[in-house]
Amino acid sequence: MLVRVAMLLLAALTGVAPAAEPPAAGLRFVRAGAPPRLLDAATLARECGAVTVELDDPYYGTRKRFRACPLATVLLLGLGKPIDAFAGETVFFRARDGYAKPAPAALLAEAGGFVAFADADHARGDAPGWQPIDRKQVDPGPFYVVWTGAEQQDTHRYPWPYQLLEIEVAPIERLYPHIAPTGMAADSPAQAGYAVFRAQCIACHAINGEGGTIGPDLNVPRSIVEYRPAAQIKAYVRDPASFRYTSMPAHPALSDRQLDDLIAYFTAMRDRKHDPGRAR
């Protein structure tokens, strides 16, 4: 308190405003019709029935143990309703680095999901003590979504966001109104490619300024199909490490048909540009 008073007195004498205090650390929850809610790790651990989980971690590439809360309980605490109440909607997991992974609410109702708030083998007292993660060896805190089921290790299908800061529930059409290939038939390759993009790409890449921000926007100001040949795009998506050292994951499970559909989607969106950058 004395430090704060001294800072204010100094500001009054010098005319220089003190630096803003850092925002409270925690996990933020957003949904329509309710005020945002912020829960810190201590509150979650106290109210969620925290446990120690052990699992094969696809990012660490080894067996790991975490102090964690069941994902369904965390969503109930933060959103005020059980995840089943949001059937048909999309849950967005937003991380500090710009990763924004959407997942269907129905998927998150599965058992096996947890929100980790500490590395059980590296924590020291109240400090979470995270072991650095992934190729860039970053701190994965403050929260990391993990899954314990052997069939839930697929990071393309299941959300595994680390550095998690926010969870929002909303229809994807409301948050990202300019990513759909409007006017294309429901059974067209472009619509099939749109489904591939939503499932595999949108967490890191945007279309028309809507989506993740880790990677480049793939449609504005120029579509990727306007400056890269289709064969090169497909080869890069399947195995980016064969082109450059990158954090972009490989997609060996995508079929040739799915990659063709993805190109069809990019081609359709080339003629449906909405560039928020040019509006500023």
User: Minimal CA–CA distance to 133: which of 66, 41, 88?
Assistant: 66
Q: What is the pLDDT of residues 40-61, one digit of tens each?
A: 999 999 999 999 999 999 999 9
Q: What is the pLDDT of residues 143-166, one digit of tens each?
A: 999 999 999 999 989 999 999 999
Q: Cα angle at 155 between 177 and 102, to 5 degrees?
A: 20
Q: What gap in Å lies between CA 266 and CA 190, rounded to an integer?
A: 8
* Predicted TM-score (pTM) of this structure: 0.83
Q: Output the pLDDT for position 76.
A: 96
Query: What's the mean pLDDT in 179-194?
Result: 97
Contacts for 215 with CB less than 8 Å, ≥ 6 apart: 204, 205, 248
Q: Output the pLDDT for position 279.
A: 59
Q: What is the pLDDT of residues 208-252, one digit of tens each?
A: 999 999 999 999 999 999 999 999 999 999 999 999 888 888 999
Q: Output the pLDDT for position 178.
A: 97
**Per-domain residue ranges of the chain:** 27-174, 176-279
DSSP character for 36?
E
116 neighbors 143 (Cβ within 8 angstroms): yes
What fold does the segment set 176-279 form as a domain?
Immunoglobulin-like (2.60.40)
